[in-house]
Amino acid sequence: MSTTSDTQTPAEADADAALKTRHRSMWAAGGYPEMVEAFLEPLGPRLVEAARIGPGDTVLDVAAGTGNASIPAALRGARVTASDLTPELLEAGRARARDLGAELDWVEADAERLPFADGAFDKVISAIGVMFAPHHQAAADELVRVCRPGGAIALLNWTPEGTIGGLFRTIGPFAPAPPPGAQPPPLWGSEGHLAEVFGGRVELDLLERATLEVTAFERPGDFAAHFKRLYGPTIVAQANARREGREREFEEALDGYFEQADLGGPDGARFELEYLLARGVRRP
């Protein structure tokens, strides 16, 4: 089991608990399950395929959200545990799994302090999930710890250079100040950053950049409105801008960003969201 919490002082433990409470609230805000249904759903099966998950594999999906990768893994016959910090997302995932006839376990868990034994899983995966744990090294250490030697770790993360990376740069100046030691989520989509946090413990045999094409919105402003209504980080940044009397500035920056990112034409808006697909073997 993880022993990270044993090394914290009482003050550090209190600060970490408060931080994780804010994270739970952020992802419970809005309607992330609706975002998955609108345009994110293809990413889960893509990760499951890259991880080569099959019948009998023991699989942990870290920061699983509503099970976008967990459920397809379970439907392949794997024994899957979906873990996430936010119980509201897990509840939505349970309902979706029931509708699809998928059987798997759902566990509330912090990606930086996973409640599982060392080497407990054949495959450890995360689709645009673990990247939002604020302390990247702690999260990477946990991914490695719970994966058995010779097992696989597979991740799908937004890149710093892509559309979602640009979104975070746009809303960053309006968001609350990050806690000490926190790193930007899109760093997980950088090949060099993955190599750094894994530190030679994972032999990466797949590093592939690809794009998710989004054509579900008629105008760029519709996509911006979607993020403002449903996406936790955007909701938190807008609320903070409102408190600071900068909401109009926030709206203009976000709307302008999506106008610039639009690759569509008269028939509708089109966006390409770049992600990094990574897979590697856990070294002994």
Instruction: Give residue-wise pLDDT tens across range 227-283.
Output: 999 999 999 999 999 999 999 999 999 999 999 999 999 999 999 999 999 999 999
What pLDDT band is residue 184 in, cutting at 50, 70 and 90?
Answer: very high
User: CATH code for 4-212+276-282?
Assistant: 3.40.50.150
What pLDDT band is residue 5 in, cutting at 50, 70 and 90?
Answer: very low
Q: Is the pLDDT of residue 8 over 90?
A: no
β-strand pairing of 79-84 with 105-108: parallel
What pLDDT band is residue 1 in, cutting at 50, 70 and 90?
Answer: low
Q: What angle do CA 82, 84, 90 make, to 5 degrees?
A: 70
Q: Residue 17: its pLDDT value, please?
A: 86
Q: Which residue has the higher pLDDT, 43 or 13?
A: 43
Element containing residue 151 per DSSP (H, E) = strand 147-158
Predicted TM-score (pTM) of the model is 0.94
d(CA 203, CA 199): 10
- Of the candidates 206, 223, 222, 199, the one whose C-alpha atom is nearest the C-alpha of residue 276 is 206
Q: Is the pLDDT of residue 108 over 90?
A: yes
Q: Is the pLDDT of residue 2 over 70?
A: no
Q: Is the pLDDT of residue 4 over 90?
A: no
Q: Which residue has the higher pLDDT, 17 or 68?
A: 68
Mean pLDDT rounded to a whole number for the chain: 95
d(CA 60, CA 82): 6
Q: What angle do CA 128, 132, 138 make, to 5 degrees?
A: 115
